[in-house]
Structure 1
Amino acid sequence: MGTFFKLVGWLSLALASLVKLILAAMVVEVVSDVVLRNLDYRPISWGVSATEYGLLYSAFLPMPWLVRTKGHVFVEFLRRALPPAGRLVLEKLVYALCIALSLYLTWYAFDAFLNALATGAYETKTFDMPKWLIFLPIAIGFFLSALEWSRYLLGHDSLYDVDILDREGL
């Protein structure tokens, strides 16, 4: 099981690294667009649409890595008020709820992905984007996030191992 979660971690890291490249490309596009406009040239026609899709990919592909590295925002006041046994139960409930929500959203996005693939639907803006390419990162992000939450649920790690005050340097 440890090897499986290690592979999921590597895949999560690879997707987060890919998003760094997407963000860099978006910066280049936006700067180019601004420079062209200021020089009274026509802006890049497909730039806004490409940036919108880049933001979509940037939101969903690094999600599993954020779960793995405990980068998500969480509220700890209720957990701290509980005795140790209650904390463990609350943690497991939170993990189970996160897995359930992630799997539900995976199913929903994957269903939309399959529907778009079957119908050949396109989103038409300044260029045609196959709709399945819009739903794919959503399904991947939520599915891998569910696997990362499962790692916590099965006891391989705890989301709460790092004290939030230590994390913030306080």
Structure 2
Amino acid sequence: MHAVVKAYNVLVTGLAVISGALLVWLGIAVIISVMQRNLGFQPTAWLFLSTEYGMFYLTLLGAPWLVRKRGHVYIELLTAALPKPILNIFSRFVSLLCVIVCLVMAMKGFDLVQMNLTRNDLDVRAYFFPTWLLTITFPVCFGLMAIEFMKFVVGREILHTGEVGLAE
């Protein structure tokens, strides 16, 4: 069981690292694109597509790690006003709702991947890119987010700290 937990943690952290690397690539790609335009050249199609795909991937790949680190946005004003026992119940309820939403999104994403594979869908804007390589992130990342939110439902820690401005 310990090996499974360790592998899971490496997966979530690894996806976050890839997400961060994609963010760095986006910055570099924008600079290259602007330089090419200023020098009178047309930026290459792969450069444009890599930034477009990169924004999609970095958003989903980093999301499970953000849940783990409580990095998602929520209204602290409400949670800070709740007494600890009510905050505990409220936070677990919100986390449970998040689990349900993530599981629905993961299931719908799985259906989408199956459809893409069955129909052999391709993104054909500049290159022939299998669509399932994009949509596979939906079931994987939303499934991982469901697991991370579930830790806040049944674990010792809750999603909301009850403090205002803790992250600043």
The one-letter code sitting in structure 2 at the alignment partner of 1:31 is: I
| RMSD after superposition | 2.1
Tell me the CA shift for residue 166 of structure 1: 3.0
CA distances 1:71-126 after superposition (whole Å, capped 9, x unpaired): 11111333344333222211111111000000000111111011101211011111
The one-letter code sitting in structure 2 at the alignment partner of 1:113 is: V
For structure 1, which runs of at least 5 residues remain unmatched after alignment? none
% same residue: 29
Structure 1 length-normalised TM? 0.87
Match of 1:102 in 2: 102
Compare 60-69 and 134-143 and name the one that shifted more. Answer: 134-143
Tell me the CA shift for residue 2 of structure 1: 7.3
Aligned length in residues = 168
For structure 2, which runs of at least 5 residues remain unmatched after alignment? none
Q: Is the 8 A contact 2:64 2:145 kept in 1?
A: yes
- Go from structure 1 to structure 2 and tell me whether the alpha carbon gap of 1:128 and 1:55 turns closer, same or farther (over 3 Å shift): same
Counterpart CA distance in 2 for 1:5 and 1:104 is 24
Compare 53-62 and 79-88 and name the one that shifted more. Answer: 79-88
Match of 1:20 in 2: 20
Match of 1:119 in 2: 119
Compare 96-105 and 130-139 and name the one that shifted more. Answer: 130-139
Tell me the CA shift for residue 135 of structure 1: 0.7
Match of 1:47 in 2: 47
Match of 2:71 in 1: 71
Structure 2 length-normalised TM? 0.88
- Go from structure 1 to structure 2 and tell me whether the alpha carbon gap of 1:5 and 1:153 turns closer, same or farther (over 3 Å shift): farther
Q: Is the 8 A contact 1:9 1:65 kept in 2?
A: no
Match of 2:167 in 1: 167
Tell me the CA shift for residue 49 of structure 1: 1.9
